[in-house]
Amino acid sequence: MDIFQLKTNKAASVRTVEMHLLGQHASSVETPQGTVMWLAQGLAIKESAIHVMKDKRSLKSTATDIQKLAVIRRMDRLISDISKFIDAVTAYMGSTIEDHNNMTADEAESKWEEQNNDPHSDLPLPFIHIPALPLPSWLGHRNCNKHGLDALADLELQLRIGQANDTLQSIHFTLADKAVLFCTEVCLASNQSANTRTWGKVHQVDTVLSRHVQIYRKCRKAMVALEADKVLMERYKPLVDQDLKVTTAICDPNGSVHHMQNLAWFWTMDIPRDAQESDWMSEFYCVNWLHAKAVQD
């Protein structure tokens, strides 16, 4: 199989991008010292906020005090991190944002997430106001240029590319786990009890998937706000419902309809990195290549 593998470069993770930018901008006069770390912290905080709020929404009215306390502590740490981040905004963005205390977070949920939310979910914890982070993507590319923050905007865009790569890989692994779950448990469930138990595991995987999808969509939205070029936006396409489905070929690999099915666009973006970090993914790409070759032959 090695002779048939494509010679492609691995997509850079957000940590790889951050290390590269730290070395590249160590002596830069365009941005203050510590700008890269500050921006990377902002991206991490936004991801943390998604996880915390998802956990808050998933709490039931029957949640124990220990479960509630764990979420409350994470919410408190999140608010503390946000406050520290906002306090440092003047050092990196000047006085461009003086009314940052009036910012409101974007609470819009995607259609795909709304369809996967539990309608019976209760919220035993009080509502928490999470202010939006004053990142260049919040200002927009034109405002950044207007206030001389174009270098800062370019740094965030590069970090966003790394974040998108990481999130898409997480989506790869989560969908692969779901496929394996269908193949090893759901399709083999022999009674109602086993079927209920295995579908419960599927719903847990869907919950994890919804978080990664939300992070990617917000990341891509930031890339649009930073006016990433057309080539970049064609590479990082919008995620649609169809892209997130697991094919039934795992239960019926000899089905006659499967020869017309193609992989979603994001599966072939970073084959070397996926194959290196997961044996499951390496086998997946090999099987898909053999399947495609058999169809052509």
Is position 123 within any domain?
A: no
Q: What is the pLDDT of residue 243?
A: 85
Is residue 6 situated within a structural domain?
no
Instruction: Identify whether 231 is part of a domain.
Output: yes
pLDDT tens-digit map of 178-207: 888 888 877 777 787 777 888 888 889 999
Rounded to whole angstroms, what are the CA distances from 230 to 44, 202, 266?
A: 26, 36, 17
Cα separation, 91 vs 211, whole angstroms: 32
pLDDT greater at residue 105 or residue 60: 60
Identify the weakest region by mean pLDDT among 48-62, 99-113, 134-148. 99-113
Better-predicted residue by pLDDT, 273 or 38: 38
Q: How far apart are the C-alpha atoms of 254 and 233, rounded to whole Å?
A: 36
List CB contacts of 131: < 8 A, sequence separation 6 or more.
82, 86, 100, 101, 103, 104, 105
| Residue of higher predicted confidence among 41 and 99 | 41
Asked if residue 66 is part of any domain, the answer here is yes
Task: Print the domain residue range for 258.
Answer: 14-96+132-296
**Distinct helix (H) and strand (E) counts, the chain:** 12, 0
Which position has the higher pLDDT, 17 or 264? 17
8, 271 Cβ separation under 8 angstroms: yes
Element (DSSP H or E) covering residue 289? helix 279-296
Domain count, the chain: 1
Residue 112 lies in a domain: no
Q: How high is the pLDDT of residue 128? A: 66
pLDDT tens across 131-186, in order?
778 999 999 999 999 888 999 999 999 999 999 999 999 998 899 888 888 888 77
Interatomic CA distance for residues 130 and 51, integer angstroms = 13
Q: What is the pTM of this model?
A: 0.77
DSSP SS3 for 192: helix
- Residue 129: name the closest of 23, 49, 225 by CA: 49
pLDDT in tens, 227-248: 999 999 999 999 988 888 876 5
**Residue 169 maps to a domain:** yes
**210 has a pLDDT exceeding 80:** yes
Assign 278 to helix, strand or coil: coil
Residue 7 lies in a domain: no
Does 122 reside within a domain?
no
